[in-house]
Amino acid sequence: MPQNPEKIQDHVELFHQPEYKQLFQNKKQFENGHEAEEVERVAEWTKSWDYREKNFAREALTVNPAKACQPLGAIFAAVGFEGTLPFVQGSQGCVSYFRSHLTRHYKEPFSGVSSSMTEDAAVFGGLQNMIDGLANSYQLYKPKMIAVCTTCMAEVIGDDLQSFINNAKEAGSVPQDFPVPYAHTPSFVGSHITGYDNMMKGILSNLTAGHKKETSNGKINFIPGFDTYVGNNREIKRIASLFGLDYTLLADNSDYLDSPNTGEFDMYPTATKLEDAADSINAIATIALQSHSTLKTREYIQKEWKQPTAVCRPWGIKGTDELLMKISELSGLPIPEELENERGRAVDAMTDSHSWIHGKRFAIFGEPDLVYCVVGFMLEMGAEPVHILVHNSNDVFEAEMKELLASSPFGRNATLWPGKDLWHMRSLMFTEPVDFLVGNTYGKYLWRDTKIPLVRIGYPIMDRHHLHRYATIGYQGIINLLNWTVNTLFEEIDRNTNTPSKTDISYDLIR
């Protein structure tokens, strides 16, 4: 039968057509499913305290851990450097997952290659894959640097990246002086923030080798960490420019992940220049904007560069104040009046929205730095954290989070849930409900089940567009965080009061 292209339907409507409904109904006879009444009974049971106890007793199963694996963080770090091609020593399927995950968040193509390891490499090792892969990558894609990381397969069989890269250079795959930094990033330990840290350390140690000078270059380095809001890189550059500060951003992937559509494809948009990264060893100091995704990198900078480091997480008023005062202290420059005015506008916005957020109970999940920063901001607004779930937690994070909670009267009823997953969070939200949930797109299923509104903050956000383009740091970031939070609450109020003559007595025109 001829098809009419003008009647092509979106999948949202397509699968509600009679033929698809019949198809789904026919499938059920092969699924050996239970009767609808039994499914409903079990579904209700999973909302109970009895089920919660059984859920929290499990040990051998993880259901949606709210973290990604190391290589994803590694390739994210790599593209912040000029002309850099991420190279994954592993199978094609692995790198396809990393690329697609980032592409779905940013709606931008994310380039990365693999050494295409298969069964023979698993037996004999991946040396030849490395030799051929580096040669092909160098010839085909003309990068200025190739950053290599590993997957589970390469780590299990024990591939030695330094040796393999040396052999590949000896074989002529790339010139001897061509930078090929690397990081071992096994997916079965750590998480995406570990991979980011490992790759950042690997790149900086490679590029800065032999570049230490007797005198400082007068700059301050900034390391964003695994921060998926491209607006934050632009905000830190704007703040530094307002100071008149000479700085280096290690590394700037904002144009790579949010590139302009000019009609011509640019595989390597503007990023941190390799020579600037090489000279970062001579800076006055390095400021990391995250703690847990820069741990090894900061230790390396302190030990090998003999350079002081600081952690300033500029979310909320207190965090932003601390960053600006640290910049002023290190540079000797006064805090610009424009930033003081922005602070006043942020405080004014917080005052406007305060009554709607104050006293609200919330749950949150995500990686350590993000969760710490969001909780800090929410405490400034008088919101009360109840469930704080971080799968890739650690003792340092838990200690600093407890200190943060103890610093505010609104933090006294919070419980930390380290190492737990989103199926645990589901039980928590049914048995101890909250007013709103903060997290990434995967929280959407919790919203559907529990009817608790979701404030989308974090990575990945794949079911909403453009949120990654905004800033969450600085005084302007405060207003964005307020916008997402308070307007989510307003939308929920409207949903609960929109039935004419029944619930609409509070369907207000003015909030």
Active site residues: 152, 156
Helix (H) or strand (E) run with residue 288 in it: strand 285-288
- Angstrom CA distances, 282 to 209, 248, 308, 323, 465, stand at 12, 11, 11, 21, 40
At 364 the three-state DSSP class reads strand
- φ, ψ for residue 222 (rounded to 5)? -120, 130
Tokens matching residue 16: 């509600």
Residue that is written with structure tokens 């592993």 in the block:
90
DSSP string covering 429-487: HHHS--SEEEE-GGGHHHHHHH---EEE-SS---SSSSGGGS--SHHHHHHHHHHHHHH
Closest alpha carbon to 373 in 473, 509, 265: 473
Give the type of residue at 390: V
Contacts of 441 (CB under 8 A, 6+ apart): 456, 460, 461, 462, 463, 464
- Angstrom CA distances, 292 to 273, 299, 369, stand at 25, 12, 6
Residues 327 and 333 sit within 8 Å (Cβ to Cβ):
yes
d(CA 340, CA 320): 11
At 391 the three-state DSSP class reads coil
Closest alpha carbon to 243 in 276, 215, 216, 220: 220
Residues 165 and 130 sit within 8 Å (Cβ to Cβ):
yes
